[in-house]
Homo-oligomer: A and B are copies of this chain.
Amino acid sequence: MSTTPAPPDSAVRAFIEDHRSAFLSDLTTWLRIPSVSADPEHADDVRRSAEWLAGSLRSTGFPVAEIWETEGAPAVFAEWPSDEPDAPTVLVYGHHDVQPAAVADGWDSDPFEPVERDGRLYARGAADDKGQVFFHTLGVRAHLAATGRTAPAVHLKLLIEGEEESGSPHFPDLVRERADRLACDAVVVSDTGMWDPETPTVCTGMRGLTDCQIDLYGPDQDVHSGSFGGAVPNPANEAARLAAALHDEDHRVTLPGFYDGVVELTDEERALFAELPFDEKAWLRAAHSHAPLGERGHTTLERVWARPTAEVNGIAGGYQGPGGKTIVPSRAQLKLSFRTVAGQEAEKIQETLRTWVADRLPAGIGHEITFWGTTRPCLTPLGHPALQSLVRAMGRSFGKPVRFTREGGSGPAADLQDVLDVPVLFLGISVPSDGWHAPNEKVELSLLMKGVETSAYLWGDLAEHWNGR
């Protein structure tokens, strides 16, 4: 996987260079629209952003570019069929809404008045995600210009949602309802990043998520620990016992069958992770943490990228005010989340957890488990031909071997994967210093243009090397 990349295409580079200025000017116009989905006062701006994007996609050449309404903010769908009927179909996913931002949060300039400084474009949404959506517009034009085509080498679709920064509440429904129009052979997610500015990487998977709340009921009211302590069950003790029993001494999750079916890292993947220039001290700073701790036998990167976990997100019970209060509390609560990896079934984990909890609680402790939701994991094997196309396109653009990462978090990409039943590829050029969700968000212009170039190479490579199966 680390062969010398093919040389770049001079026609592609020339086209991109010629159009760079207009491209950045258009992106700047889009970034000026404060499409903050979390703020109802910006609902009109989110709609304006969708309409601006649909117009821009039509100008790019997409014969179809529609606003798709949801119960919340509108999404944009665009489609550009290939002139090769048998070509694979690829759906690009991104989002046009942005996080809230205000100068008062610590920005050096107006977050919605983009500024170019030192090769960087500063604006809310520059990296997350407008910049990364927009590089596909110049990318497909460069692809056509350099190859002399009038339609892309693949059937190209785009779905750019408007509520990602608000948790994509209507996205799964949208995908299910529009599954026919969204049908494809692969999804390309452009809402992620690379290892660092010097290290082009392709993310090959995301962990899934299933989370829940466990309510425990002991005495019908708090009771005096002198009169009753030591003789009645205490739900705070029981919550602690459940949480503590979730892991063994090796920090492995103890739920029966939890690891059944887990797609284990291959030796090749572990070796590739190990090749990344990982600075654990820097990682710990980013984690605001003071030591690593996790499943025995795995590195930190393996733990966060490729290992399933159980985490206590919250625990509560009894007295929490100042000083002491000698009670046996009436109730306690646990909030747990499980990160899952390919091969695990959230439904099975939920079912096991129900039995496991019920079996461990003593008489006199009532309980209730509420599952909040499930996001499935996704994983594209290193050997998948579509992934190999992406790696070649990126390597050609960057002129460097491409390395591999995964993403520990969980995202709406999994909904696309699940409903459409296709592999997910991650083409992102953002870097950790881009400041997603933070003041002074920016995108590195040199990397943004590498995104354009990767996009320009990808469609041709895919059509050449992959039949969509």
A279 to B295, CA, bound (A): 49
Whether A325 contacts B335 by the Cβ 8 Å rule is yes
Give chain A interface residues in 327-345, CB to chain B under 8 Å.
327-330, 332-333, 335, 337, 339
On whether A315 and B291 interact (CB within 8 A), knowing A240-B239, A339-B230, the answer reads no
Whether A303 contacts B231 by the Cβ 8 Å rule is yes
Whether B311 contacts A320 by the Cβ 8 Å rule is no
Whether B304 contacts A326 by the Cβ 8 Å rule is no
As for how many copies of this chain the complex holds, the number is 2
Please tell me if A234 contacts chain B, counting CB pairs below 8 Å.
Answer: yes
Whether A234 contacts B318 by the Cβ 8 Å rule is no
Whether A294 contacts B329 by the Cβ 8 Å rule is no
Please tell me if A263 contacts chain B, counting CB pairs below 8 Å.
Answer: no
Please tell me if A351 contacts chain B, counting CB pairs below 8 Å.
Answer: no
A249 to B311, CA, bound (A): 24
Residue among A219, A316, A324 having the largest count of chain B Cβ atoms under 10 Å = A324
Chain B, Cβ-Cβ closest to A212: B324
Whether B313 contacts A325 by the Cβ 8 Å rule is yes
Whether A227 contacts B304 by the Cβ 8 Å rule is yes
Whether B234 contacts A312 by the Cβ 8 Å rule is yes
Contact flags (1/0) for A232-266 with B, using CB distance below 8 Å? Answer: 11101101111111110001000000000000000
Please tell me if A271 contacts chain B, counting CB pairs below 8 Å.
Answer: no
On whether A362 and B230 interact (CB within 8 A), knowing A311-B225, A312-B240, the answer reads no
Give chain A interface residues in 187-223, CB to chain B under 8 Å.
207, 209, 211-213, 218-221, 223
On whether A316 and B313 interact (CB within 8 A), knowing A287-B228, A330-B288, A363-B290, the answer reads no
Complex contacts, A324 vs chain B, CB 8 Å: 211-213, 313, 335, 337, 372-373
Residue among A251, A314, A329, A410 having the largest count of chain B Cβ atoms under 10 Å = A314
On whether A226 and B339 interact (CB within 8 A), knowing A219-B288, A324-B211, A325-B313, the answer reads yes
On whether A315 and B317 interact (CB within 8 A), knowing A229-B304, A231-B303, the answer reads yes
Give chain A interface residues in 371-402, CB to chain B under 8 Å.
372-373
Chain B, Cβ-Cβ closest to A316: B320
> Closest approach, in angstroms, between the C-beta of A280 and any C-beta of chain B?
10
Whether B304 contacts A329 by the Cβ 8 Å rule is no
Query: Could you say which of B335, B366, B408 contacts A319, with CB atoms under 8 Å apart?
Result: B335
Whether A318 contacts B335 by the Cβ 8 Å rule is yes
Chain B, Cβ-Cβ closest to A243: B240
On whether A314 and B291 interact (CB within 8 A), knowing A226-B339, A324-B213, A339-B230, the answer reads no
Interface size on A, residues (CB 8 A): 83
Complex contacts, A240 vs chain B, CB 8 Å: 239-244, 312, 315
Please tell me if A168 contacts chain B, counting CB pairs below 8 Å.
Answer: no
Complex contacts, A224 vs chain B, CB 8 Å: 409
Besides A227-B408, A229-B311, 12 new A-B residue pairs in contact (Cβ under 8 A), listed by A number: A219-B287, A220-B289, A224-B409, A226-B407, A226-B409, A230-B303, A232-B289, A232-B293, A236-B315, A237-B246, A315-B315, A326-B337
A–B pairs, 25, beta carbons within 8 Å: A207-B226, A226-B408, A226-B409, A226-B410, A228-B304, A229-B311, A230-B294, A231-B292, A231-B293, A232-B292, A234-B311, A236-B315, A240-B240, A240-B241, A240-B312, A240-B315, A241-B244, A290-B364, A313-B319, A313-B325, A313-B326, A314-B325, A323-B372, A325-B335, A326-B337
A residues engaging B (CB < 8 A)? 207, 209, 211-213, 218-221, 223-234, 236-237, 239-247, 251, 284, 287-295, 300, 303-304, 307-309, 311-320, 323-330, 332-333, 335, 337, 339, 362-366, 372-373, 407-410
